[in-house]
Homo-oligomer: A and B are copies of this chain.
């Protein structure tokens, strides 16, 4: 007697398909991968430098840097003790899963505990492109102003962790933390949030504890 078999499959676009394949590769290697996003100059590279300084003796860490031009960020990550790969996007305002796939092929993933992907400095485009990372992390910067969740909602809706950087400058700025946090909570009620200063190190213990736990769980 013939049996009816239903195959229900979610159809992915090409980028999401490659993102899934990247994720499978990262899972197999057991390397926690974080996708770091922010405006230009919010402190992505500074966060990477200070994080490397704290964790490089304890974990093997690789960094993949996405920029439209130059290798400044990968040079800084390498100087801070990471194995670093630079992606130049040739003008594109975000990384995509295919760019990450090509960069992953440059690394022996099994050698690493943590892979930090520094996305292109942009508060719009990266939100639309999954790359296959385990955690999407956004850095806000206090000098940018407290209205950014309201003006860039897509970015704030699609992340797992929010770092609020440059809190050492708060006393000099008209940054209303309650207004900012209210905007964040509307968009992403359960977002894990760490106020930090990459300059002074304030708030880093909580961020590093979260990261170490995530590395161990990967």
| A121 close to B69 (CB less than 8 A) | no
Q: A50-58, A98-106, A146-154, A204-212: which one contacts chain B?
A: A146-154
Q: A3-11, A20-28, A29-37, A137-145: which one contacts chain B?
A: A137-145
User: Residues of B contacting A124 with CB < 8 Å?
Assistant: 68, 91, 93, 120, 122, 125
- Asked whether A169 and B152 contact (CB < 8 A) given A40-B39, A124-B93, the answer is no
User: Residues of B contacting A154 with CB < 8 Å?
Assistant: 68-69, 91
User: Residues of B contacting A120 with CB < 8 Å?
Assistant: 124
With the chains together, A72 CA to B69 CA distance in Å? 32
**Does A49 touch B at the CB level, under 8 Å?**
no
With the chains together, A148 CA to B72 CA distance in Å? 10
With the chains together, A152 CA to B92 CA distance in Å? 11
What residue in chain B is nearest A123 (Cβ atoms)? B40
Give the size of the chain A interface in residues (CB under 8 angstroms): 34
| Of the residues B91, B145, B172, contact of A41 by C-beta under 8 Å | B145
What residue in chain B is nearest A93 (Cβ atoms)? B124
User: Residues of B contacting A67 with CB < 8 Å?
Assistant: 151
- Asked whether A152 and B93 contact (CB < 8 A) given A124-B120, A144-B40, the answer is no
Q: 6 pairs across A/B with beta carbons < 8 Å?
A: A39-B40, A40-B123, A40-B151, A68-B124, A69-B150, A72-B151
A-side residues, CB < 8 A to B, are 39-42, 67-70, 72-73, 91, 93, 120-125, 128, 141, 143-145, 147-148, 150-154, 166, 168-169, 172
Q: Which 6 A-B pairs have the closest CB atoms?
A: A41-B144, A143-B143, A93-B124, A39-B40, A41-B145, A40-B123
